[in-house]
Amino acid sequence: MVVPGYAVHTAQQEVPLTKAPPRKDTQPELQLRAAHAAQDWQRVAHLCRQTLRKNKRSLLAHRYLGYALKMLGQIGPAIDAYQQATAHHRDDAELLANYANLLLEQAMDTEALPLLDKLCALRPTDSSCWSKVAQSCYKIGLHEKGFGSAMVAYSFAQNDYERVAALMQRAIHRRELGQIREAVEDCTEAIAINPTDAAHHTNRLLFMLGDPQTSPEQLATAAREYGAIFEAPHKPYWPTYEERRGDPWRKLKVGFLSPDFRVHAVMCFAEGLLAQLDRRQFEVYAFYLYPKDDLVTERVKCHVDHFVRIAHLGYDDQAKIIQSHAIDILIDMTGHTGGNALLTMARKPAPIQVTWIGFVATTGLSAIDYYLTDEIINPAGVDHLFSEKLWRLKTFHGSYRAMSRNPLWSYQPLYAVRPTPALRNGYITFGSCNNLGKLTDEVLTLWGKLLQIVPKSRLLIEGKGFNKPEFAKNYRSRCESLGVDIDRLNLVPLVTEKQYLTYHDIDIALDPFPLTGGTTTCDLLWMGVPLVSMVGNSSPSRMSTNALTYTGHEEWLAHSHDEYLTIAARLASSPEELNHQRLRQREEVEQSPLMRDDIFCENVAQAFRLMWMAWLAEKDHPEDQQAQYDIIEKWYANRPEELVPPPTLGVGITEGQRLSLHTAHQELQALLEKALQEKNPNTEKSIDGKMSPHWIAVTEYAEKILCAVPNDAVALACLAEVEHAHGHTDFALTYLQYASKAISIIQISAKTVTMA
C-alpha cells in the first residue's frame, strides 16, 4: 500500500467563549436574541441586516450575521459579513473567534492565524484560543510556533476538554518536528481522558506507523480498539441489502469516498483508476469530503460519472446520501488520515466496502470487508494484522502518475532526467525528500555513519520549515548530536512549486525506516534517482520494497543496517555507473507495473466483480464455502461476450460528458484546424496578450486527454503544433519526441500481442 502524504486530524469543536457581563437589551436586540435562541437563522440574518441599516456599528448584529449566514450555508456572504464586522469591532473576542472558526472550517488557515493571534492577545490565559492558534499553524507549516502554542494551551487548560484539545495539537506538531514517540504518547494520554473522540485514535494510529517502538501487532490492536468503540453502536442497524441480490454481471455502482480529490498525493495513484475503470461494468461516483476545490478537483469531476459533495454533512447524513445513490461497492481512500469518513463507513452505507491507498494498515472496522493491496507489500503471513480480508492484486496496487499537480509539466525539459550530479560536483550527494516526521534518530544516526564511510560525500535533506533560520539551526544541532557531520549537511526548504527539481541535485536517495517513502519513492524513481531502502516486516515498512520490487531493483533493498550502508557505498563507488542507471531509469519505471493504468484497471475491475459475486454467493449459500466457490466459478466462466474484449479508453470532457478516445481525438483535431486557420498566432491574440481562444481551446482539450490517457500521441502532437505556432521551438520538439516515443511503444506492444 502506497502511503501518500499523510494528513492528521486537527479540527476541534468550538469552545464557547466566556460570556460578556449582562446588559439591558433594546427591543430589536431582544428579537435578535430570541431568533438566535430558536435557531431561526433566516430570521436572524433578516433582523441583523435590518438592524445594521439603522446602526452600522451594532455589535450584536455584527456578531450574529456572519454566524447565521454560515448556518444557512452561505459561506462567501458569511466571510464578507465577518470582514465588515471586524472592521468596526477590531477587539471583540467573540467576533474574532467565530470568524476564525469559519475560516478554519473552510481550510483558510493562513487567513485565520492573524485573527487568532489577536484573540490570544485579548485573552492570554484562555487555553482554547491557544489551541486554535496551534491548529491553524499545522497546515501552514509553522510547527515550532504551533508546538509552543499547544504547550501554552496545555498549561492554561482548566478542564479535560481543554487538556485533550491541547494534547491533540501538541501531538500533531511533535510528529512534524520528529518527536514521533512523544506524539504517540500525547495521543494515548488524550484517549485515556476521552476515549470516545475518534480523532485521537486516528492520530495515534497514524503516528504509530512511524514509531520504531510500535510493533505491527500493537498497531493492529490499537485499530481494533478504535473499531470496538466506534463501530459497535451502529452494527445492529446495518442494512442487509437483500434487494440488491440478482444478476452477478449487472453494471455496478462504485463509489470512491475521499477528502483528497484535489492537489494531494493520493491523486498520484488514483486518477488513472477514476478515469479508466471499465464503464461497461461500472458507474463511477466520487463522494467528496473536503470543502474546497482546486484544479485537480476539476479533473476528477470530468473523470467520474457523478461527483457528490458531502463534506458539509454529519456521518449519519453522509451515509444516507451514499445509500440514496444505491452504491454497490464503496471504496474508502483515507483510512486513518485527516478528513476521513470511517465513521460513515461504520454505518455500512453499501453492501460491499473496501479500503484502499490512503492508509498503510488496517482500519480496525469489520464494516469494511476488504483491504485492496498486492502480494509484495502484504505477503502471506500478515493477514492477522488486518480486520479486513486482504484482497491481493496480481500487480502493483496503484497506478502512479508523476506531476499530478501540473500534468503537462512532466513533458517539459526542466523535468527531464539529467546526468547524475556527482559528475559535475566531484562528490556523491545522498538525499531525502521525505516528511521530516519519518526521519527518526535511528535513521539520522545511520546516515551519519554513511557519510563517514563515503569520503567527501554530502547529505541533502529537503523538508518543511528549513526556510526558518531557528528551525534549521535546531535541526542541524539535532543531526550533529546524532553523529552527522553538519559541514557536509545541506538543508533545503520544501517549496511546492519546485517539487521534483531537488532530485536533480541528489545522486542516491536514502529511505527512512520503519515508515518508508510512498509517493516520494515513486517520484524519485521516476526522476532517475536510485534508492536505498530497508525491507520491513509489515506494510508501513514495505512501501518502498513494493515499488523497488515492481521496478526490478530488489538489489537496492537491505535487511540490516550494515547491508543498508554496504548498498549505498557500492552505488556511490561508481559515478559513471550511477549515471548510466539514472539515464535509463525513467523508461524502466514508465514501463513497469507502477505506471500501467491498463494493467491496474483490469486487475481492479476483476477484483470488484469477484467481490460482488462473493457477496451474492454468500447470500445464496451461507456457511457453505465450497458451494460459494463453485457458483462463483460458474458465474465468472459465463462472462458476457461484450465484456471479453478490453474496454476502450475514454476521456471525460466535462462533468457528466464522457467520450471515447477516438471521438476525443476527432474533436481535438477539429479545434486544431480552426486554430491553424489564423494567419499569425502571435498577432491573433486576446486583449490581455495571451493566446487567442482557438489556441487556448486546443491546449485545454489536449490536456484533458493527457489527464485521462497519459502520453497520448495525438494530444502531444497537437501541443507541439501549439508551441510551434507561437515560436516555442524547444517545447514543440519536446512534445514531438514524447509523441514519437508513445507511437513506438504502441507499435512494440501491438507486435508483441500479434506474436503471442
In the prediction, which pLDDT does 8 show?
Answer: 60
Neighbouring-strand partners of residue 306: 285
Cell triple for 408: 503537462
User: CA 607 → CA 73, 83, 277, 393, 624, distances in Å?
Assistant: 39, 51, 12, 8, 21
C-alpha to C-alpha distance for 339 and 395, rounded to whole angstroms: 29
| Residue 16 reports pLDDT greater than 80 | no
In the prediction, which pLDDT does 23 show?
Answer: 55
Percent of the chain at pLDDT above 90? 86
C-alpha to C-alpha distance for 557 and 511, rounded to whole angstroms: 10
In the prediction, which pLDDT does 656 show?
Answer: 84
Q: Which amino acid is at 714?
A: V
**Structure confidence at residue 670 as a pLDDT band (50, 70, 90):** very high
Superfamily of domain 27-230: Tetratricopeptide repeat domain (1.25.40.10)
Q: What is the mean pLDDT of residues 711-721?
A: 96
Cell triple for 17: 467563549
User: Which of 135-144, 201-210, 306-315, 334-343 is least confident?
Assistant: 135-144
Q: Which amino acid is at 565?
A: L
| Residue 748 reports pLDDT greater than 60 | no
| Residue 19 reports pLDDT greater than 50 | no
The SS3 of residue 516 is coil
C-alpha to C-alpha distance for 162 and 156, rounded to whole angstroms: 8
| Residue 681 reports pLDDT greater than 80 | no
pTM above 0.75, yes or no: yes
C-alpha to C-alpha distance for 311 and 292, rounded to whole angstroms: 9
Q: Given CA atoms 374, 377, 381, 386 in this order, what sign does their dihedral have?
A: negative
Domains 407-595 and 650-755 equal at CATH topology level: no
The SS3 of residue 33 is helix
| Residue 498 reports pLDDT greater than 90 | no
Q: What is the mean pLDDT of residues 49-70?
A: 93
Structural contact between residues 377 and 352, judged by C-beta atoms closer than 8 angstroms: no
In the prediction, which pLDDT does 205 show?
Answer: 96
Q: What is the mean pLDDT of residues 443-468?
A: 95
In the prediction, which pLDDT does 176 show?
Answer: 86
In the prediction, which pLDDT does 128 show?
Answer: 95
| Domain boundary assignment for the chain | 27-230, 407-595, 650-755
Q: Which of 291-295, 369-373, 462-466, 684-688 has the highest mean pLDDT?
A: 369-373
C-alpha to C-alpha distance for 617 and 635, rounded to whole angstroms: 10
In the prediction, which pLDDT does 24 show?
Answer: 62
Interior angle at CA 320, CA 340 and CA 230, nearest 5:
45
Q: What is the pLDDT of residues 506-536, one digit of tens each?
A: 999 999 999 999 999 999 999 999 999 999 9
C-alpha to C-alpha distance for 388 and 152, rounded to whole angstroms: 41
Percent of the chain at pLDDT above 70? 94
| Residue 682 reports pLDDT greater than 70 | no
In the prediction, which pLDDT does 687 show?
Answer: 45
C-alpha to C-alpha distance for 153 and 128, rounded to whole angstroms: 7
C-alpha to C-alpha distance for 224 and 461, rounded to whole angstroms: 36
681: Cβ–Cβ under 8 A, 6 or more apart, which residues?
675, 691, 692, 695, 725, 726
Q: Is 750 exposed, middle or buried (0-12, 13-18, 19+ CB in 10 A)?
A: exposed
Compute the half-sphere exposure of residue 189: CA atoms within 13 Å on the CB side of its CA. 18
The SS3 of residue 651 is strand
**Structure confidence at residue 546 as a pLDDT band (50, 70, 90):** very high
C-alpha to C-alpha distance for 341 and 116, rounded to whole angstroms: 28
**Structure confidence at residue 178 as a pLDDT band (50, 70, 90):** confident
In the prediction, which pLDDT does 107 show?
Answer: 86
Q: What is the pLDDT of residues 418-429, one digit of tens each?
A: 999 999 999 999
In the prediction, which pLDDT does 9 show?
Answer: 60
| Residue 394 reports pLDDT greater than 80 | yes
Q: What is the mean pLDDT of residues 705-731?
A: 94
Q: What is the pLDDT of residues 476-493, one digit of tens each?
A: 999 999 999 999 999 999
Structural contact between residues 27 and 50, judged by C-beta atoms closer than 8 angstroms: no
Structural contact between residues 3 and 515, judged by C-beta atoms closer than 8 angstroms: yes
Interior angle at CA 712, CA 706 and CA 713, nearest 5:
135
C-alpha to C-alpha distance for 522 and 500, rounded to whole angstroms: 11
User: Which residue shows C-alpha cell 483528497?
Assistant: 260
**Structure confidence at residue 140 as a pLDDT band (50, 70, 90):** confident
**Structure confidence at residue 688 as a pLDDT band (50, 70, 90):** low
| Fold held by 407-595 | Rossmann fold (3.40.50)
Q: Given CA atoms 486, 487, 488, 492 in this order, what sign does their dihedral have?
A: positive
C-alpha to C-alpha distance for 612 and 614, rounded to whole angstroms: 5
* DSSP for 596-635, written as a single string: -HHHHHHHHHHHHHHHHHHHHHHHHSTT-HHHHHHHHHHH
650-755: which CATH architecture? Alpha Horseshoe (1.25)
Q: Given CA atoms 311, 316, 320, 323 in this order, what sign does their dihedral have?
A: positive
Cell triple for 445: 544516526
In the prediction, which pLDDT does 754 show?
Answer: 41
C-alpha to C-alpha distance for 724 and 521, rounded to whole angstroms: 35
In the prediction, which pLDDT does 745 show?
Answer: 67
Neighbouring-strand partners of residue 391: 372
Q: Which secondary structure element, helix H or strand E, spans residue 283, and what is its range?
A: strand 282-288
Q: What is the mean pLDDT of residues 318-330?
A: 98
Q: What is the pLDDT of residues 157-176, one digit of tens each?
A: 999 999 999 999 999 999 88
Cis peptide before 514 (omega within 30 of 0): yes
Average pLDDT score over the chain: 92
Cell triple for 251: 453494471
Phi-psi category of residue 509: left, alpha or beta, with phi > 0 → left and psi -120 to 50 → alpha: beta
In the prediction, which pLDDT does 12 show?
Answer: 45
Q: How many residues does the chain have?
A: 756
Cell triple for 429: 550527494
| Residue 737 reports pLDDT greater than 60 | yes
Neighbouring-strand partners of residue 510: 532
**Structure confidence at residue 444 as a pLDDT band (50, 70, 90):** very high
The SS3 of residue 507 is coil
Output b/e per residue, 563-596; b: 16+ Cβ within 10 A: ebbebbbebbeebeebbebbeebbebbbebbbbb
Compute the half-sphere exposure of residue 210: CA atoms within 13 Å on the CB side of its CA. 33
